[in-house]
Amino acid sequence: MLLGILITWTLASGVFPGLTPGLPNTTYWLMGIASTIGLLLSIVFHEMSHSLVARHYGLPIRGITLFIFGGVAEMTSEPARPRDELLMAAAGPAASFVLSALCVGAFLLIGDADGPPAVTAVLWYLGMLNGILALFNLIPAFPLDGGRVLRAALWGWRGDYLWATRIAAGAGNIFGIVLIALGLLEIVQGDFVGGIWRFLIGMFLRGAAAASSNEAAARARLTRIPVGQVMNPNPQTVSPELSIEDFINDYVYHHHHRWFPVTRDGDVLGTVETRQAVAIDRAQWPMVPIVRIMRPLSHDDVVTPETDAFAALEQMRRTGHSRLVVIQQGWLRGILSSRDLLDMLSLDRELGHRQAG
């Protein structure tokens, strides 16, 4: 909301009076509001284009998040092939170029017909803005779309996802440093607002590039490790006939866990959590068995000991579950939690650093 007000104020007080002098102040504010809404819709359209291509290639999209620098389509997993990432990354700038062409075309048509100056100015501004958005995103610096295109090209060339990510993220880090330096220089020269924008965008790009590089390293490591090496092989289970009261007193408080698999004679029937228990009236806890509140086991809850750890992590992201039941030939073999994966990565990184030292 504050960002929208700031953009509207900047357009109404500085940009549009310079483009179309002599109009009432109320008109400039209406132009600013219309342009801010157009900017928001342009960003949504840009990210929706990414999302449509991602879904076409089987990549679920959790949603689209808008933030101070634009937007991002939240994928629950990374592309499996270089071609998928290339097409998905290119879809956003292509959509922005289309919007730019439509706005500029409408500007020319309405201008030739002596249309309202306020309308033509807004169309010109949105056309130029979408063109700049497309060109900026094509810079080969991760996590910009151009950086993803660069990663896809390098990945397809060498077949090494981790190496390609490190190169693209390195370019993103360098570009972020350049923007930070330019921002500081502009602040010193008196352009405080423009300098702050470049400084913040540079910081964001550096942070996102570092996070992407770390995630790629984790992906490379986890892909080589089966779930059986990371899971807890001796999980505590509960019986479906157990009352909620006994479940809370004898299991939750005793083992300090909030989640347990429910088994009978070695078969996993489902899972139960404390939040399912608290949904029941406490006076009913001694009479209500776990089987009444447990969540039945589904395909999304299960992995095998042979599943690679990265595939299990992707499954957790896709389903929103932080724990998975490990089953082999119908028998419970263990429990895998996101904490297990993080602990393994932390230990692996620590040992790797010590060996390097």
**Tokens for 115?**
């249309």
CATH number of the domain enclosing 238: 3.10.580.10
- CA–CA distances in Å: residue 29 to residues 23, 40, 120, 349: 10, 17, 15, 54
Q: Would the pLDDT of 171 be above 50?
A: yes
Name residues whose C-beta falls within 8 Å of residue 85's C-beta, 6 or more positions apart in sequence. Answer: 78, 79, 148, 151, 152, 155
In this structure, are 170 and 49 located in the same domain?
A: yes
Task: Write down which residue in 173, 207, 223 finishes a domain.
Answer: 223
Residues in the chain: 357
**What share of the chain has pLDDT > 70, as a percent?**
92
Closest C-alpha to 291, from 307, 269, 306:
269
In this structure, are 204 and 269 located in the same domain?
A: no
In this structure, are 197 and 91 located in the same domain?
A: yes
| Most confident among 211-220, 278-287, 343-352 (mean pLDDT) | 278-287
| pLDDT score for 253 | 92
Task: Write down which residue in 193, 223, 253 finishes a domain.
Answer: 223
**Tokens for 28?**
């400039």
In this structure, are 349 and 239 located in the same domain?
A: yes
Name residues whose C-beta falls within 8 Å of residue 123's C-beta, 6 or more positions apart in sequence. Answer: 103, 104, 106, 107, 110
Tell me the residue range of the domain where 126 lies: 2-223
In this structure, are 206 and 243 located in the same domain?
A: no
**Tokens for 247?**
């479940």
Catalytic residue among 47, 186, 215, 273: 47
**Pairwise CA distance, residues 86 & 79, whole Å:** 9
Q: What is the dihedral of CA 207, 56, 149, 72, to 10 degrees?
A: -30
**Which of 138-147, 155-164, 205-214 is least confident?**
205-214
In this structure, are 203 and 324 located in the same domain?
A: no
| pLDDT score for 205 | 86
Per residue in 4-51, pLDDT (tens digit) is 777 788 788 878 888 888 888 898 899 889 998 998 889 888 888 888
**Tokens for 283?**
């006076």
In this structure, are 263 and 300 located in the same domain?
A: yes
| pLDDT score for 66 | 58
Return the beta strands (E) in 218-354 as ranges: 259-264, 267-273, 295-296, 302-303, 323-328, 331-337
Q: Would the pLDDT of 241 be above 90?
A: yes
| pLDDT score for 69 | 52
Q: Is 350 a catalytic residue?
A: no
Name residues whose C-beta falls within 8 Å of residue 124's C-beta, 6 or more positions apart in sequence. Answer: 19, 103, 104, 107
Q: 295-296 and 267-273 as β-strands: parallel, antiparallel, unpaired?
A: antiparallel
| pLDDT score for 288 | 92
Do residues 219 and 200 touch, judged by C-beta distance below 8 A? no
Identify the band that residue 342 occupies on the pLDDT scale cut at 50, 70 and 90: confident
In this structure, are 182 and 249 located in the same domain?
A: no
Q: Would the pLDDT of 316 be above 60?
A: yes
In this structure, are 205 and 262 located in the same domain?
A: no
pTM value? Answer: 0.70
Identify the band that residue 321 occupies on the pLDDT scale cut at 50, 70 and 90: confident
The answer, yes or no, to whether the previous bond of 143 is cis (omega within 30 of 0) is yes
In this structure, are 192 and 272 located in the same domain?
A: no
Place of tokens 């958005």: 133
String of DSSP letters for 26-75: HHHHHHHHHHHHHHHHHHHHHHHHHHHHHHHTT--EEEEEEETTEEEEEE
**Pairwise CA distance, residues 135 & 282, whole Å:** 60
**Tokens for 46?**
């840009």
**Pairwise CA distance, residues 176 & 4, whole Å:** 24
| pLDDT score for 220 | 78
What is the total count of domains within the chain?
2
Q: Would the pLDDT of 125 be above 50?
A: yes
| pLDDT score for 354 | 45
**Pairwise CA distance, residues 38 & 47, whole Å:** 14
Signed CA dihedral, 66, 68, 71, 76: sign only: negative
Q: Would the pLDDT of 350 be above 80?
A: no
| pLDDT score for 77 | 64
Q: Would the pLDDT of 127 be above 90?
A: yes
Identify the band that residue 131 occupies on the pLDDT scale cut at 50, 70 and 90: very high
Task: Write down which residue in 168, 195, 223 finishes a domain.
Answer: 223
String of DSSP letters for 232-295: BSS---B-TTSBHHHHIIIIIHHH--SEEEEEETTEEEEEEEHHHHTTS-GGGTTT-BGGGTPE
Q: What is the mean pLDDT of the chain?
A: 85
In this structure, are 141 and 231 located in the same domain?
A: no
Mean pLDDT over residues 308-320, rounded?
Answer: 85
Per residue in 249-306, pLDDT (tens digit) is 999 998 888 899 999 887 888 899 999 999 999 999 999 999 999 999 888 889 999 9
**Pairwise CA distance, residues 334 & 317, whole Å:** 20
| pLDDT score for 110 | 87
In this structure, are 219 and 238 located in the same domain?
A: no
